[in-house]
A = this chain, B = another copy of it.
Amino acid sequence: MDYPSKVLAKAVDEISGLPGIGRKTALRLALHLLKQPPSRATSLGNSLINLVNEIKYCKDCHNFSDFEICEICSNDKRNDETICIVEDVRDVIAIENTGKYTGKYLILGGKISPMEGVGPHQLNIPSIERKLNEGTVKELIFALSATMEGDTTAYYIYKKFKSFKVNFSSIARGISVGDELEYADEISLGRSIMNRLPYNDGNV
């Protein structure tokens, strides 16, 4: 495709390098920015540059942060005894949005996936060992994808650290709130029967 201007062509090239954005969408976005006041694109451009140059990784849990230690790890009110192991920062945001978890996190940075060439050595597994060696942790919660890769990762970590005196748990899998049984897949339904809970006021 031939663009009438080199700066436009360059912007379309750069935008269409983002995942899920093709050249037509990239052109639409570039033309949208050209219709806005120039401060809009300048502000977007600078925010992207600042993002990669100013962001830090929490030394404790590997979450993104503006400081050396993130706000969750440095919060005294949060429970040091449970560590929730997640794949990436989106999972932390999702769990924080539930408001149901008051412990800390550890972000693996992915999951073991031979298909994508990700082995245990690329993940932040040594940080789990460091935390366990500190001696305050009593429970490790696996909050990983319900996929083969997620299960493999949990099993690898469990095997590696089962000699430590901590409890291992995994987030419950079952029927989502609002699901109709007839449309649930059989594996989820099977697990939710096996992992049935005593029925009382607290569980409803």
Q: In the complex, A114 Cα to B45 Cα: how many Å?
A: 34
- A202 near B: Cβ within 8 Å? no
> For residues 35 through 87 of chain A, which have their beta carbon under 8 Å from a beta carbon of chain B?
38, 40-56, 58, 63-66, 70-72
Q: Point out the residues of chain B lying under 8 angstroms from A54, CB to CB.
A: 7
User: In the complex, are the beta carbons of A18 and B29 less than 8 A apart?
Assistant: yes
Given A1-B97, A14-B43, answer yes or no on A51-B29 (Cβ-Cβ < 8 Å).
no
- A8 near B: Cβ within 8 Å? yes
A10-33 Cβ-contact flags toward B at 8 Å (1 or 0): 110111011110000101111111
Q: Taking the full assembly, how many copies of this chain does it contain?
A: 2
Q: Point out the residues of chain B lying under 8 angstroms from A47, CB to CB.
A: 7, 10-11, 13-15, 45
Given A14-B43, A19-B28, answer yes or no on A33-B51 (Cβ-Cβ < 8 Å).
yes
Interface size on A, residues (CB 8 A): 59
- A6 near B: Cβ within 8 Å? yes
Given A14-B43, A41-B51, A45-B48, answer yes or no on A4-B70 (Cβ-Cβ < 8 Å).
yes
- A129 near B: Cβ within 8 Å? no
The A interface is mostly helix, strand or loop, or mixed, namely: helix
- A2 near B: Cβ within 8 Å? yes
User: In the complex, are the beta carbons of A52 and B27 less than 8 A apart?
Assistant: no
Could you say which of A88-96, A137-145, A146-154, A177-185 contacts chain B? A88-96
User: In the complex, are the beta carbons of A2 and B41 less than 8 A apart?
Assistant: no
User: In the complex, are the beta carbons of A49 and B45 less than 8 A apart?
Assistant: yes
Given A10-B47, A25-B20, A90-B31, answer yes or no on A64-B4 (Cβ-Cβ < 8 Å).
yes
User: In the complex, are the beta carbons of B66 and A7 less than 8 A apart?
Assistant: yes
Distance of A9 from chain B, by nearest CB (Å): 10
- A203 near B: Cβ within 8 Å? no
Q: Point out the residues of chain B lying under 8 angstroms from A64, CB to CB.
A: 3-5, 8, 34
User: In the complex, are the beta carbons of A51 and B7 less than 8 A apart?
Assistant: yes
User: In the complex, are the beta carbons of B8 and A55 less than 8 A apart?
Assistant: yes
Distance of A102 from chain B, by nearest CB (Å): 14
